[in-house]
Amino acid sequence: MLISIATIFLVLIYTIIKHLLSKSGQRYLIDSYGLDSTKLETLSKQDIRALRASINQLRKQNDAFGLEELLRRYRP
């Protein structure tokens, strides 16, 4: 009985932490680039991860026009 309660508690903590990390990725994009939160909410976690990777790649290349083109569809 005690083991099942502890397992449920650990799964709950894991789920909460995973959700908070997902939301922090969206919050970073909203705060840093002025993106629309409703447009980002429709994206999956993998899409958010891919978008952040694309942004980082364009920033490393110093491609301002490519970065603007990428982010334009997510701005309000």
What's the pTM value of the predicted model, to 2 decimals?
A: 0.74
Surface-to-core class of residue 51, CB atoms within 10 Å of its CB (0-12 exposed, 13-18 middle, 19+ buried): buried
The pLDDT tens digits along the chain (76 residues) read 889 999 999 999 999 998 888 888 899 999 999 999 899 889 888 999 999 999 999 999 999 999 999 999 999 8
Number of domains in the chain: 1
Q: Which domain holds residue 56?
A: 2-72
* DSSP letters spanning 2-55: HHHHHHHHHHHHHHHHHHHHHHHHHHHHHHHH---HHHHHTS-HHHHHHHHHHH
